[in-house]
Structure 1
Amino acid sequence: MRDFLPADKARRERVLAIIRDRYRAHGFDEIETPVVEDYDRLHAGIGGDNEKISFSVLRRGLDADGIRAAAEDPAALADLGLRYDLTVPLARFYASHRGELPGVFRAIQIAPVWRAERPQKGRYRQFVQCDIDIIGDASARAEAELIAATLDTLAALGLEGATVRINDRRALDAMLGAFGFTPEERPGVLITIDKLDKVGPEGVAAELRERGVSASAVDAFAAFLRRPRAAAGPFGEEHIRRELPEGIADDVVAHLVALGIAVAEARSLGDEGAVPLVFDPFLVRGMGYYTGTIFELAHPSVAYSLGGGGRYDGMIGRFLGTDVPAVGFSIGFERIVDLVEAGEDAAVPAVVLVHDRDVPLPQLLGLKAALVAEGARVRLEQRTKNLRALLERAAADGYASFATVSTATTRETLELKPLG
């Protein structure tokens, strides 16, 4: 959990403003949910490993005897918890307010979340997520809108050239079934497959054998990984089927193909071969609530993902009693903000008024009010012996110009000079 100095905070807010603007331009509306949710909801078995590193809130009113009695049962000790993502709160929000929302609801959530991570570079216990979700649309149009809005947002941040890796959890499950893994073995197998980029095909096969899963299935999977592969082609049915074993359901492939066509149209490409999608049959994503399409955001400047998401059609039904299709895409803000080039809002001049000690307060505030009325951002600073250090500090805080003020200074005689 970090503090942010003024310059860092200003930069973060500039990036957030661009993200909000692009999301809204694509028809999404921002909502807000509480930072805490019911413990049982956060630990319903749908949050994957995040449930293990969530922060819980101790029940009010427990005395020492009560704490000792409940020590072996986390649910008896805590009834609330800090949210570890924004998807579970959104599902609860929609279930609570469905009657007040449109049939297809496009939501923006930009807010902090908390996870009891082991602190290290790039991993924080409090961080901001930037989510867009579409609830109520089961078609590929929903995924296409999310992808188009996300790519447009990255371009607005100066991060052109992003691509989206695509897979489908249904295709993954069918593929594991085709190799011979039993339904009981598949969750553990997926955990191992998710390490493919790190340990390679041989490492994955070795770990699967250590897991003790069906040996014949591991052999079939290892052979599939070793097969000769043609050069990557444009995103489309031919390429998708070439990357999958035989027997994958036609409707799953058709959904992915329709997604590529829709993204091409959404981005005004007019040619599905130009769409910035990459089919990855081994993309897993660890959240337990994904039921269909899954995706991750990649950029050539970094080796790690900048965001991701997927379809979670079964989650809202847990709260509502009726299944509602839903899909979301989350940008990893803490990773994005480090890649965006620093910049200032040129439309708002920022001025430091350096005044002598004897300048009357009404005169100072009058000068400041006049500049503020003209649209400037203004800071008052009393002159110090080390004027250079004062001005360097102001420049570091984002101020672009300064003026010296004496008892004789008026708005007409105020002379602005550039900093730096």
Structure 2
Amino acid sequence: MRDFLPADKARRERVLAVIRDRYRAHGFDEIETPVMEEHARLHAGIGGDNEKLAYNVLRRGLDAAAISAAADDPALLTDLGLRYDLTVPLARFYATNRGQLPAVFRSIQIAPVWRAERPQKGRYRQFVQCDIDIIGDASARAESELIVATLDTLDALDLAGGSVRINDRRVLDWMLDAFGFSPDERPGVLITIDKLDKIGPAGVAAELRDRGATASAVDAFEQFLTRPMTMEYHPYGERQIRKFLPADAPTEVVAHLVGIGEAVAAARAGVDGLADIPLVFDPFLVRGMGYYTGTIFELAHPSVDYSLGGGGRYDGMIGRFLGQDVPAVGFSIGFERLVDLVDAVDADGATAIVLVHDRDVPDSELLAHKSGLVAAGSRVRLEHRTKNLKALLERAAADGYTSFATVTAGAAVGSLELKPLA
């Protein structure tokens, strides 16, 4: 968890303003949910490994005897927890407020979440997520809208060139079944498959054998991973998708993925220099959240070797709270990783002025000067003159101020001479 100095905070808010602006331009509406949810909801078996990282809140009013008695059952000690993502709270929000929402609801959530994990570069115990979700639309149009809005946001942040790796959990399930893995061993198999980029086919096969996975299934899977393939390039579409899958892949799922590509291509046709659909089919993209039921995706950018966000379809989650299934899909930008890539974002256009004054300038005159400039649309800070004026002005420039003026006693309002800080 971190503190942010004024310049860092201002930079973060400017990036967030761009993200909000682009999301709203694509028809999404912002909501807000509490930072805490019920313990049982956060630990319902749908949050994957993140459930283990949740910060739990001790029940109120427990005395030492009650705490000791509940030592063997942590669930008796806590009834609330800090949210570890924004998707579980959104599902609860929708179930609670469905009657006041449109049939197809497009939401924005931009807020901090908490996970008790080991901090590392770009990953913290408190961090901001920027989510857009579409609830109530089972068609490929929903995924397409999310992808287009996300790529548009990257473009607006001068991070053009982003792409989306895409897969479908139904394809993964079908492949594992075709290779001969039993349903009860699939969770462990998926954990290993998720390491394919790091340890390669031989490493995946070795780890699966170490796990005790079905030997014939591992052999079939290894043979598929090491099969000879032509280097012929195919743009994203049915031909590319089927090239990376075993024969007889489910037609319905392939058609859904193809439909996403066609819609994204149509929407992105006006982007300068775009030759191909910015989608890459990855049959071994896994994503670890337990609630994904269909399409899954991750946001990539050529400047980094890690994802900048991801998401997928979670059609079964809302039904747990509502009693009936409602289709839902979401895309989350990892703000902490994204903001580190943004060199600079233009300020809001207002002139930012530092008024440097001596002690003998009356407060009434200082506030009159300041109020006049503020009324004209400027951002204004009062600073008492110090011996080291250069250091004072350098700090002001670092805080985003662009000009300064010296205020002397008796100066008429509107007569100050503004000088650039650069």
Which residue of structure 2 lines up, in the alignment, with residue 34 of structure 1?
34
Which residue in 1 is equivalent to 2:204?
204
Q: How does 1:371-390 map to 2 (within 5 A)?
A: 371-390=373-392
Per mean C-alpha deviation after superposition, the further-off stretch among 403-412 and 310-319 is 403-412
Spell out, residue by residue over 1:9-53, the C-alpha distance to the aligned partner (whole angstroms, 9 max, x if none): 000000000000000000000000000000000000000000001
Q: For residue 161 of structure 1, what is the amino acid of its counterpart?
A: G
Shift of 1:331: 0.3
SS at match of 1:251: helix
Structure 1 residue 243 corresponds to structure 2 residue 244: yes
Which residue of structure 1 lines up, in the alignment, with residue 269 of structure 2? 268
Code of the residue aligned with 1:146 in structure 2: it is: L
* TM superposition shift of 1:155: 0.3
2:33·2:89 contact (CA, 8 Å) conserved in 1? yes
Report if aligned partners of 1:111, 1:129 keep a CA contact under 8 Å in 2.
yes
Which deviates more, 224-233 or 170-179?
224-233
Number of equivalences? 420
* AA aligned opposite 2:290: G
Give runs of aligned pairs for residues 321-360 of structure 1, distance below 5 A: 321-345=323-347, 347-360=349-362
Letter in 2 for 1:260: G
* CA distance in 1 between partners of 2:123 and 2:153 (Å): 23
Identical amino acids, percent of aligned pairs:
76
Alpha-carbon shift at residue 386 of structure 1 (Å) = 1.0
Matches within 5 A, 1:285-304: 285-304=287-306
Identify the residue that residue 153 of structure 1 maps to in structure 2: 153
Secondary structure of the corresponding residue to residue 339 of structure 1: coil
C-alpha deviation, 1:273, in angstroms: 7.3
8 Å contact kept, 2:15–2:345: no
Give, as a single letter, the amino acid of the residue that structure 2 aligns with 1:369.
S
Distance of 2:399 and 2:106 partners within structure 1? 36
Is 2:254 the partner of 1:253?
yes
Give 1:19-418 correspondences, 5 Å limit. Answer: 19-231=19-231, 232-268=233-269, 274-345=276-347, 347-418=349-420
* TM-superposed deviation, 1:408: 3.0
Q: Deviations over 1:247-305 (max 9, x none)?
A: 321101111111111111222369x9721000000000000000000000000000000
TM-score of the superposed pair, with normalisation by structure 1: 0.98
Per-residue CA deviation, residues 80-132 of structure 1 (Å, 9 max, x unaligned), is: 00000000000000000011000000000000000001122222100000000
Counterpart Cα distance in 1 of 2:387 and 2:116: 47
Aligned-partner SS, 1:19? helix
For residues 322-358 of structure 1, the C-alpha deviation after alignment (integer angstroms, 9 at most, x for no partner) is: 0000000000000000000124416110000000110
Residue aligned with 1:403, SS: strand
CA contact (8 A) 2:369 2:414 kept: no
Q: Which secondary structure state, in structure 1, belongs to the residue aligned with residue 183 of structure 2?
A: coil
C-alpha separation between the residues in 1 aligned to 2:40 and 2:71?
Answer: 17
Indicate if the aligned counterparts of 1:344 and 1:398 stay in contact, CA closer than 8 A: no
- Quote the Cα distance in structure 2 between the aligned partners of 1:228 and 1:132: 40
Q: Distance in 2 between matches of 1:263 and 1:156?
A: 17
Q: Verify the 8 A CA contact 2:352 2:378 in the aligned structure 1.
A: yes
Q: Which amino acid aligns with 1:386?
A: N
SS, match of residue 80 in structure 1: strand
Query: What is the rounded CA distance, in whole Å, between the counterparts of 2:289 and 2:345 in structure 1?
Result: 36
1:170 and 1:291 in contact (8 A); partners too: yes
2 CA distance for matches of 1:211 and 1:16?
44
Q: 1:208 deviation in Å?
A: 0.3
Structure 2 residues without counterparts, runs of 5 or longer: none
Deviation, 1:409, is: 1.7
Q: Distance in 1 between matches of 2:178 and 2:331?
A: 29
How far apart, in 2, do the equivalents of 1:269 and 1:122 lie? 33
Moved over 4 A (4+): none
The 8 Å contact of residues 123 and 336 in structure 2, kept in 1 or not, is answered as no
Counterpart residue type for residue 234 of structure 1: P
How far 1:174 sits from its partner (Å)?
Answer: 0.2
Mapped partners of 1:58, 1:128: distance in 2: 24
Structure 1's 215 and 269: CA in aligned 2 closer, same or farther, altered over 3 A? farther
C-alpha deviation, 1:229, in angstroms = 2.1
The 8 Å contact of residues 193 and 286 in structure 2, kept in 1 or not, is answered as yes
CA distance in 1, matches of 2:329, 2:189: 24
2:243 partner SS? helix
Describe the SS at the equivalent of 1:372: helix
Matched-pair contact (CA < 8 Å) for 2:180–2:217 = yes
Could you state the TM-score of these two structures normalised by the residue count of structure 2? 0.98
* Aligned-CA RMSD value: 1.4
Q: 2:269 & 2:106 partners in 1: Cα distance?
A: 21
